Amino acid sequence: MRRALIVAAGSLVPVCALHAAPSAVDDRILIGLQGESLTNTSGGGGGSLGWLHNFDAATLAGVGVEYQMLANSHWTFGSLNASHTMGEGSQRYTVYGEAHEGGGNSGNRALNYHIEAVGLVGTYFSRLSVSLEDRQFFVDTVSGNLPKLGVSYLWNPHVQTTMSYSYSIGSNLGTRLASGKIDLYSPGVNWLAGFSFGQATAAVLTGSNNLGVDTFAPGLRVKEGYVGATLPLPSARSEITLVVDYQKLSNPSVDSNRFQGNLNYVFHLGHHGT
């Protein structure tokens, strides 16, 4: 049977990261556009629309909707997310949760799409952060849990590095992924770059999106690299982010290269001090 590999935004390159406003109530509209190519397919793309609200400097919630298509498949899902930070001074704890629910079609076959996650981040000495997350997948023929342990360190106000490792438990996820990321902060442009390598199923490779197959595919070996930049636009009360991502996917029956570009725009509706 012919297989159609459906790949969307990389799990290490989220369209909108959860982060609270520095010291104010804040509302943001998020618009995302995406285009991609994948070996032996006609390519694809998609778009997303979201809203984030900071109730105060410690509490955030958001909703969104996203549509994706590639080759002979398409899917749509809605998202809910929230986070809350506790503690004062140099030691803080953040709890967060998210849910992505929807479905679509791969050729003539319907596919389901359900991903939920909960996590805890502890920050110490205002520099070291340790995170623990559990993500539940139920996407098409793939299901199971994916715990992830991550460590971030802010070396100075301009450089932060992150390392993480994911190891699936139960069902057919079959995932072992190591990842790294560096963020460079500057007054004009913020830069990011990262990588991942290991084994993952289709659904895991995309985090809040989907990689579906007409028949179940064995775990894929993946090598991923990405770079991006965020440009603040203070006069327009907004910021724009561009991320370019590459993945090399392989197993005994699949050998594919995937390129993807993500353009994300965030507009601040307005804020006031709490």
Q: Is residue 169 part of a domain?
A: yes
Domains contained in the chain, number: 1
Return the higher-pLDDT residue of 44 and 265: 265
What would the two tokens of residue 34 be?
A: 């995406």
pLDDT for the residue numbered 72 = 79
Return the higher-pLDDT residue of 69 and 216: 69
Residue 212, pLDDT > 50, answer no
Q: Is residue 18 part of a domain?
A: no
Instruction: Average the pLDDT over each of 45-59, 197-211, 232-246 and give the range with the smallest value.
Output: 197-211
Average pLDDT over residues 163-187: 91
Q: Is residue 19 part of a domain?
A: no
* b/e map 20-47, b = 16+ CB within 10 Å: bbeeebbebebbbebebbbeebeebbbe
Instruction: Average the pLDDT over each of 30-44, 211-225, 227-241 and give the range with the smallest value.
Output: 211-225
pLDDT for the residue numbered 11 = 36
Average pLDDT over residues 218-233: 89
Residue 16, pLDDT > 70, answer no
CA-nearest of 142, 5, 1, 143 to 73 is 5
Under the banding of pLDDT at 50, 70 and 90, the label for residue 218 is low
pLDDT for the residue numbered 42 = 82
Q: Is residue 2 part of a domain?
A: no
Residues 6+ apart with CB under 8 A from 221: 198, 199, 249, 250, 251
pLDDT for the residue numbered 50 = 95
Q: Is residue 84 part of a domain?
A: yes
pLDDT for the residue numbered 44 = 87
Averaged pLDDT score across all residues of the chain: 83
CATH number at residue 85: 2.40.160.40
Q: Residues 60-113: pLDDT tens digits?
A: 999 999 998 877 788 899 999 999 999 987 899 999 999 999 999 877 889 888
Q: Return the H-helix or E-strand segment holding 43.
A: none
Instruction: Average the pLDDT over each of 11-20, 23-32, 108-117 and give the range with the smallest value.
Output: 11-20
Instruction: Average the pLDDT over each of 49-63, 120-134, 151-165, 247-261 and give the range with the smallest value.
Output: 247-261
Q: Is residue 227 part of a domain?
A: yes
pLDDT for the residue numbered 150 = 97
Domain range spanning residue 169? 24-273
pLDDT for the residue numbered 2 = 31
DSSP string, 192-239: EEEEEEEEE-TTGGGTTS----SSPPPPEEEEEEEEEEEEEEGGGTEE
Residue 12, pLDDT > 50, answer no
Instruction: Average the pLDDT over each of 14-23, 93-102, 109-118, 171-180 and give the range with the smallest value.
Output: 14-23
Specify the amino acid at residue 104. G
Residue 37, pLDDT > 50, answer yes
Q: Is residue 3 part of a domain?
A: no
Q: Is residue 65 part of a domain?
A: yes
Q: What is the pTM of this model?
A: 0.84
pLDDT for the residue numbered 140 = 82
Under the banding of pLDDT at 50, 70 and 90, the label for residue 24 is low
pLDDT for the residue numbered 65 = 95
Residue with tokens 């009360």: 237
